[in-house]
Structures are given as structure tokens and as C-alpha cells.
């Protein structure tokens, strides 16, 4: 794999953390973003011990000014980013679309769409100038098949698909590549966040079948990024074997 410097948003848990660990070592440099400074520092120490150079950027991706300051703080040479993994994302609640919280919807849209756009706008021009780069957006099966109680989240992931496809078109005359990875059910902190810390309700999402792990999705990301330069893994839908659609899973009683 030729890529050397990899920027991952939302790297302190779940898919983002798994991606950081998968890319660690082998001479790669990692730039890890997250809101939790303590978790970032702990992860940095672990990955440095594995042979990686690591910079941490603790900021909320919804804060565009903080994003700009953090990126500007990178040491010389670290802004030559080869791979951008737009992973930061979330869902909040499962209310019906006519009953949901406008404030929660703002948070979902600001994180899943606007922050992805801001980070892309900040990083990709440098990739174009250098003639090398790969953008990996973490989407979701929810962007393909909406479900009740998840309208805004589903719409945000449909937007990730549209933004990935349009960026690929915009970059077709460059050597850059764009990949949209769309996981099904992955057992991470995602559902705990969605259900506002209700662990029992979060656990029920994965009850009766083997869900994906963050490491499974990280392996797909690694595969896409490691492909030869002339190969563009444009889109991957990855689900547990027991899952067929956004909502249909074979659960053992």
C-alpha cells in the first residue's frame, strides 16, 4: 500500500477506532480526530507502540472553525494527506418523522452531511494538487433502504451516497479515488448513542444474530485503500450474513 498519511474522523470508537488500528504500523502516519481528548491520547499511545506516527486532532467535526484551527496546527508535511476516512457520524432517537426533535435532526445533519462536506473541502484540494489521494466515506445500508423512525438518519446516509458519487464524477479526470462503504448492522456504540444511553435497548438491536464488528468494516476500508492505483472500489455494501435489508434479520430465539 502506497498511502502514508491517513486522516480518520470519529476515531475514538467503533469503525473509526478499528480503522486506526487496522492501518497502524507498516510505516503509516495517522491523523486521528475525535471529541474525547483522553480517548485520543490513549489510542495514540497504543498505536505509537505498534510503530505508527500519530497526530491527534481533538475537535467536534460540526465546529468548522475548530476544524480549520486543528488542520492548520498539523506539523509541516502532515497536511499531505493520502487517505481521508470520513467516518464521524451518528443517529439520535427513533421517533416518527412528524414527531422527532428538530435539535437532534440538526445534530445528525451537521455531523453526517455538513461535517463530511467541510472535511472533504478542506482536504481534497491538496490531493488534487499532488495528484494522489483516496476519499473513503462511511455510509450505511440505511441510505439505500429507509425505515420507519429513521427518516433523517436514512436521508443523511442517502446524501453520503450522492456526495460520494458526485465527488467521483468531479474527480474523474484526476488520479484520485472515492469509495463509499455502506455497512449494515455493526455492534458499536452507535445504538447506545441513538437511544441516549439506554444499553438494554441498544443491545436488543443485535439480539439473536451475529452483527458485524467495527473490525469487519475496517477490513473493507483497508482492502479498498490497498487496491492498485488503477482500481477504484467505488461502493461496498457489507452486512452480517443474517441480515438482508435495513430491517430484516434472521434472529434466533
pLDDT digit string (tens) for 80-99?
999 999 999 999 999 999 99
Question: Residue 102 pLDDT > 80, yes or no?
Answer: yes
> pLDDT exceeding 70 applies to what percent of the chain?
98
Just list the catalytic residues: 153
Question: Could you write out the three-class secondary structure of 35-51?
Answer: CCHHHHHHHHHHHHHCC
| pTM reported for the whole predicted model | 0.95
What homologous superfamily does CATH list for 5-238? Answer: NAD(P)-binding Rossmann-like Domain (3.40.50.720)
Question: Residue 3 pLDDT > 80, yes or no?
Answer: no
In the block, residue with C-alpha cell 456504540: 189
pLDDT digit string (tens) for 176-193?
999 999 999 999 999 999
* 205, 236 contact by CB (below 8 A): no
Amino acid at each position: 500500500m502506497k498511502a502514508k498519511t491517513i486522516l480518520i474522523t470519529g476515531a475514538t470508537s467503533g469503525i473509526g477506532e478499528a480503522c486506526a488500528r487496522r492501518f497502524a504500523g507498516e510505516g503509516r502516519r495517522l491523523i486521528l480526530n475525535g471529541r474525547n481528548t483522553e480517548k485520543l491520547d490513549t489510542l495514540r499511545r497504543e498505536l505509537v507502540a505498534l510503530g505508527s506516527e500519530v497526530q491527534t486532532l481533538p475537535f467536534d467535526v460540526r465546529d468548522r472553525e475548530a476544524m480549520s484551527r486543528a488542520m492548520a496546527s498539523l506539523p509541516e508535511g502532515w497536511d499531505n494527506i493520502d487517505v481521508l476516512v470520513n467516518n464521524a457520524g451518528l443517529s439520535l432517537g427513533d421517533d416518527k418523522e412528524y414527531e422527532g426533535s428538530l435539535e437532534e435532526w440538526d445534530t445528525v445533519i451537521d455531523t453526517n452531511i455538513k461535517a463530511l462536506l467541510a472535511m472533504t473541502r478542506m482536504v481534497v484540494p491538496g490531493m488534487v494538487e499532488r495528484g494522489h489521494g483516496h476519499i473513503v466515506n462511511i455510509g450505511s445500508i440505511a441510505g439505500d433502504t429507509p425505515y420507519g423512525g429513521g427518516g433523517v438518519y436514512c436521508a443523511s446516509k442517502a446524501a453520503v451516497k450522492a456526495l460520494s458519487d458526485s465527488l467521483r464524477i468531479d474527480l474523474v479526470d484526476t488520479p484520485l479515488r472515492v469509495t463509499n462503504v455502506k455497512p449494515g448492522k455493526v455492534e458499536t456504540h452507535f445504538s447506545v448513542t441513538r437511544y441516549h444511553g439506554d444499553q438494554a435497548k441498544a443491545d436488543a438491536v443485535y439480539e439473536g444474530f451475529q452483527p458485524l464488528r467495527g473490525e469487519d468494516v475496517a477490513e473493507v476500508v483497508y482492502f479498498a485503500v490497498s487496491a492498485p492505483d488503477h482500481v477504484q472500489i467505488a461502493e461496498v455494501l457489507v452486512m452480517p450474513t443474517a441480515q438482508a435489508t435495513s430491517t430484516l434479520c434472521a434472529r434466533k430465539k
